[in-house]
Amino acid sequence: MENIPFQQSSPRKNKTVASAGEEKIISIADNFFSKTIKTNVIKGIGDDAAVLSPPSNDFYQLVTIDSIVEGTHFTPSTLPEKIGWKAMAVNISDIAAMGGIPDIAVVSASLPKNLPIDFLNQLISGINSAAEKFNVAVVGGDTVGSDILSITVTLLGKVEKQYLCTRDGAKQGNVVAVTGLLGGSFKSDKHLTFMPRVEEARWLVKNAKPCAMMDLSDGLAMDSSRIAKASNVSIKLFFENLPVRPGFSIENALNDGEDFELLCVFSEKVLTEDIKKEFEEKFNLKLTVVGKTAPPPTGIFLNDKKIKTKSFNHFG
Question: 230 to 269, contacts with a second copy by CB under 8 A?
Answer: 230
HSE (CB half, 13 Å, CA atoms) of 138? Answer: 31
Binds a second copy (CB under 8 A): choice among 30, 78, 143, 203: 143
State the DSSP code for 313. -
The single residue among 28, 88, 131, 156 that binds a second copy, judged by CB under 8 A, is 156
Rounded Cα distance between 101 and 62, Å, is 9
Helix, coil or strand: residue 54: coil
| C-alpha–C-alpha distance, residues 28 and 111, integer Å | 14
- Residue type at 239 in one-letter notation: F
Longest distance between any two alpha carbons in the chain, whole Å: 62
Q: Which is nearer to a second copy, 6 or 218 (CB)?
A: 218
Nearest approach, Cβ of 117 to a second copy (angstroms)? 11
| Least Å from the CB of residue 271 to a second copy | 21
Residues 158-197 that bind a second copy (CB under 8 A): 158-159, 164, 166-168
Q: In angstroms, give the least distance from the CB of 191 to a second copy.
A: 14
- Judged by CB under 8 A, the stretch of 12-20, 235-243, 275-283, 292-300 that binds a second copy is 12-20
Q: Segment near a second copy (CB under 8 A), from 2-10, 150-158, 173-181, 185-193?
A: 150-158
Q: How far is the CB of 120 from a second copy (least distance, A)?
A: 11
Contact 287, 202 (CB under 8 A): no
Residue type at position 62: L
Least Å distance between CB 302 and a second copy? 21
203 binds a second copy (CB under 8 A): no
Task: Say which residues have a Cβ less than 8 Å from residue 103's Cβ, sequence separation at least 6.
Answer: 40, 55, 135, 136, 137, 155, 156, 157, 158
What whole-number distance in Å separates Cα of residue 218 and Cα of residue 309?
10
Residues of this chain, 46-105, that bind a second copy according to CB under 8 A: 46-57, 59-69, 71-73, 93-95, 97-98, 100, 104
Residue 295 within binding range of a second copy, rule CB under 8 A: no
8-state DSSP, 162: G
- In the complex, the smallest distance separating the C-beta of residue 71 from a second copy, rounded to whole angstroms, is 8
43 binds a second copy (CB under 8 A): yes
Please say whether the beta carbons of 129 and 87 come within 8 A.
no
Tell me, by CB under 8 A, how many residues bind a second copy.
76
